Structures are given as C-alpha cells and as structure tokens.
Amino acid sequence: MGIGVAELLVIILIVLVIFGSNRLPALGRGIGRSIKNFREATREREKGQD
C-alpha cells in the first residue's frame, strides 16, 4: 500500500497551487539540503556509537 501515480500527481498539483511555479526550485533546494544534513547527522551519530 503505497502512493500511486494518481495520488502523486494530486500532491504535485496542490504544491504548485500553494507555492507557485516560481518558488518550487528554492523549495526543492531547501528540502534537498535538509535531507543531506539529516543523513550526515545520522552517519556521525552511528560513527560515535562504534
């Protein structure tokens, strides 16, 4: 039970309406940086536990 194509398209459409097409690249960069920082923090934590 996951997200299907139809549900994903609806989510993308809602995001476009809320944020507008001009702000999407900045929003994507911010989310990407957040994910990168989270992964780095979890790696550092795992190294500290060894």
Residue 13 to residue 31: CA distance in whole angstroms: 18
Can you give the pLDDT at residue 33? 96
Which pLDDT score, from 0 to 100, does residue 10 have?
93
Range of 3-7, 25-29, 37-41, 46-50 with top mean pLDDT: 37-41
Q: Specify which of 23-27, 31-35, 43-47 reaches the highest per-range mean pLDDT.
A: 31-35
Measure the CA–CA gap between 16 and 12, rounded to whole angstroms.
6
pLDDT at 1: 66
